């Protein structure tokens, strides 16, 4: 098996989602799934995650159809898959969680297949910082490290999260997370403060208001969100953004400032596809030429 350009580690789950467009149950979900499906349109991805014996075969076949390598996906016999139920009836920017059943994900200890350890990029999706550090320890030192996080880890495992930030090359956070972690309300100052941990870039997602990136030597760039007429389900939008962003970097093969600028645009476009249907369903019939056409349209919009 060829080494994937991205090794991605995170949750694999089944989601029940309620939005103004309706309710859907047992949908394909999980941070690493949304990331990998998005990134798979640009490059080869291998995922590391865990699911139960109840994980539907149709989801396995979909990911294989997307050419996602599943050597690192463990299926636990007699175990149940991680499940999450949430709604967006009041605010598309903030999910209301109704139920979380960790199931086999509660004991997840990611073990990286040998073929994955030399991937040029490792993406650490939204999992506990201790697990992110465990993954970093297993990867080749030359792997470029990119992480995501969430407020739960900021509030409860700050010391370990600081170690993660010191060990990665890029951190991807939303605006609330970077403000919470730094204690700085001004987003520009907060983004620049993150660079003090030694990372090359800090990417800040702002939902419907786009994204920005801070880098060394006063590097800064920003993009708006691609305008979407109707949002159906925002679940996984941030992970799909990350998939487009990291996927472009992996395919380009460098992380120069100009690459980061273009990668932000790819992230915005991939996120825009994700939100127009439930789960990953919009990506089931999305064609590469459709994505490229939207990217050209987006670049013409923003100049």
Taking residues 7-24, what's their average pLDDT? 96
Is pLDDT above 80 for 121?
Answer: yes
Question: What's the pLDDT at 12?
Answer: 97
Asked if residue 303 has pLDDT above 80, the reply is no
Token pair of 40, please? 């798979």
> Does residue 103 sit within a domain?
yes
pLDDT digits (tens, 9 = 90+) for 241-252: 999 999 999 999
- Please report whether residue 71 resides in a domain: yes
In the chain the beta strands, taken as DSSP E runs, fall at 6-9, 13-19, 22-29, 45-52, 69-76, 82-87, 96-101, 121-124, 144-148, 170-174, 201-205, 211-215, 219-223
- Contact criterion met (CB below 8 Å) for 131 and 108: yes
pLDDT digits (tens, 9 = 90+) for 211-222: 999 999 999 999
For the cut 70, the answer to whether the pLDDT of residue 240 exceeds it is yes
Find the Cα–Cα–Cα–Cα dihedral 156, 160, 162, 166, rounded to 10°: -160
Q: Is the residue at 155 inside a domain?
A: yes
3-state secondary structure 181-245: HHCCCCHHHHHHHHHHHCCCEEEEECHHHCEEEEECCCEEEEECCCCCCCCCCCCCHHHHHHHHH
The pLDDT, as a whole number, for residue 171 is: 98
Q: Is position 1 within any domain?
A: no
> Closest Cα partner for 143 from 32, 241, 246, 242?
246
**Is the pLDDT reported for residue 84 higher than 90?**
yes
pLDDT digits (tens, 9 = 90+) for 146-189: 999 998 899 999 999 999 999 999 999 999 999 999 999 999 99
Distance between CA 128 and CA 66 in Å, rounded? Answer: 27
**Residues 118-147: what's their mean pLDDT?**
96
Residue 261 DSSP SS3: helix
Is 34 a member of any domain? yes
Determine what percent of the chain is predicted with pLDDT higher than 70: 100
Residue 94: the pLDDT is 79
- How many domains does the structure of the chain reveal? 1
CATH number for position 100: 3.40.1190.20
Classify residue 105: in a domain, yes or no.
yes
Q: How many CB atoms lie within 10 A of CB 61?
A: 10
* Domain containing residue 178: 6-302
User: Which pLDDT score, from 0 to 100, does residue 30 have?
Assistant: 96
What does the pLDDT read at residue 1?
Answer: 62
Position 41 in a domain: yes
Give the β-pairing of 121-124 and 6-9. Answer: parallel
């Amino acid at each position: 098996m060829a080494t994937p350009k991205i090794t991605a580690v995170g949750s694999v789950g089944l989601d029940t989602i309620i939005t103004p467009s309706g309710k859907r149950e047992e949908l394909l979900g999980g941070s690493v799934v949304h990331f990998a499906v998005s990134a798979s349109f640009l490059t080869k991805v291998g995922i590391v995650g865990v699911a139960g014996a109840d994980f539907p075969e149709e989801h396995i076949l979909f990911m294989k159809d997307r050419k996602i390598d599943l050597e690192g996906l463990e299926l636990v016999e007699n175990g149940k898959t991680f499940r999450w139920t949430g709604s967006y009836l009041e605010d598309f920017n903030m999910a209301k969680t109704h139920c979380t059943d960790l199931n086999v994900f509660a004991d997840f200890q990611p073990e990286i297949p040998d073929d994955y350890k030399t991937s040029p990029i490792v993406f650490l999706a939204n999992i506990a910082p201790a697990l992110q550090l465990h993954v970093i320890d297993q990867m080749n030192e030359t792997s470029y490290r990119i992480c995501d996080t969430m407020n739960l880890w900021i509030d409860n495992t700050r010391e370990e999260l600081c170690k993660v930030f010191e060990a990665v090359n890029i951190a991807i956070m939303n605006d609330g997370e970077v403000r919470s972690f730094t204690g700085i309300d001004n987003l520009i100052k907060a983004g620049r403060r993150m660079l003090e941990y030694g990372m090359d870039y800090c990417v800040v997602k702002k939902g419907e208001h786009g994204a920005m990136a801070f880098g060394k030597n006063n590097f800064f760039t920003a993009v708006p969100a691609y305008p979407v007429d109707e949002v159906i389900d925002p679940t996984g939008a941030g992970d799909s953004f990350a998939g487009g962003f990291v996927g472009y970097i992996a395919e380009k093969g460098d992380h120069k400032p100009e690459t980061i600028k273009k990668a932000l645009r790819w992230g915005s476009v991939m996120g825009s596809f994700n939100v127009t249907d439930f789960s990953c369903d919009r990506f089931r019939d999305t064609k590469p030429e459709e994505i490229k056409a939207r990217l050209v349209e987006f670049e013409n919009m923003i100049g």
